[in-house]
Amino acid sequence: AEEAALPRLAPKFAFARGELCRRVRFDMRGRDVLVFLHIQKTGGTTFGRHLVRNMRLEQPCSCRAGQKKCACPRPGGDKDTWLFSRFSTGWSCGLHADWTELTSCVPAAMERRGGCPANRTL
């Protein structure tokens, strides 16, 4: 009865069920790169650390004690990375790069690192 008396908040944004439940194919062995968009004050630093330290992968990221960056090579490879984040590539696109900066910077940054142009997933 108390819940019925509470005002219902109208959703500000309406997302179609298909958008909320869509599946994205990510080929870690291929050329796909996961680009981590860090939004400040949302737990992004903790989540970014989990991406490089705690994921169960065929070839986990290798993190050295005392270093902030980890190497995240593709399975079977040793140079090309599957993850573009501050904990794997550093601040390659600047401090707290936003969506616009990342979409224009990532392809060139990956090429500078020796990777080939890739499909990117943010």
Taking all residues of the chain, what is their mean pLDDT, rounded to a whole number? 85
- What is the percent of the chain where pLDDT is above 90? 47
| Residue 82 resides in a domain | yes
What does residue 62 show for φ and ψ, rounded to 5 degrees? -105, 120
Let me know if residue 16 belongs to a domain: no
Is 11 exposed, middle or buried (CB count within 10 Å of its CB: 0-12, 13-18, 19+)? Answer: exposed
- 96 labelled catalytic: yes
Q: Write down the pLDDT at residue 16.
A: 85
Percentage above 70 pLDDT, the chain: 88
> CA end-to-end span of the chain, whole Å?
43
Is pLDDT of 97 > 60?
Answer: yes
15 assigned to some structural domain: no
Tell me the pLDDT tens digit for each residue of 8-17: 777 777 888 8
The β-bridge relationship of strands 83-84 and 62-63 is: unpaired
- Chain segment 25-49, per-residue pLDDT in tens: 888 988 889 999 998 899 999 999 9
Query: Burial of 87 by CB count in 10 Å (0-12 exposed, 13-18 middle, 19+ buried)?
Result: buried
Q: Is residue 14 part of a domain?
A: no
Q: Which of 50, 79, 96, 112 is catalytic?
A: 96
Q: Is there a domain that residue 67 lies in? A: yes
Strands lying side by side in the sheet with 120-121: 83-84, 33-35, 120-121
Count of domains forming the chain: 1
Residue 72 counted as domain residue? yes
pLDDT bin (cut points 50, 70, 90) of residue 83 is: very high
Give me the pLDDT at residue 87, please.
Answer: 95
Residue 117 — very low, low, confident or very high, per pLDDT cuts 50/70/90? low
Is the pLDDT reported for residue 98 higher than 70?
yes
Joined tokens for residue 1: 């009865």
**71: domain range?**
36-112
The answer as to whether 122 is a domain residue is no
Give residue 31's pLDDT: 85
32, 119 Cβ separation under 8 angstroms? yes
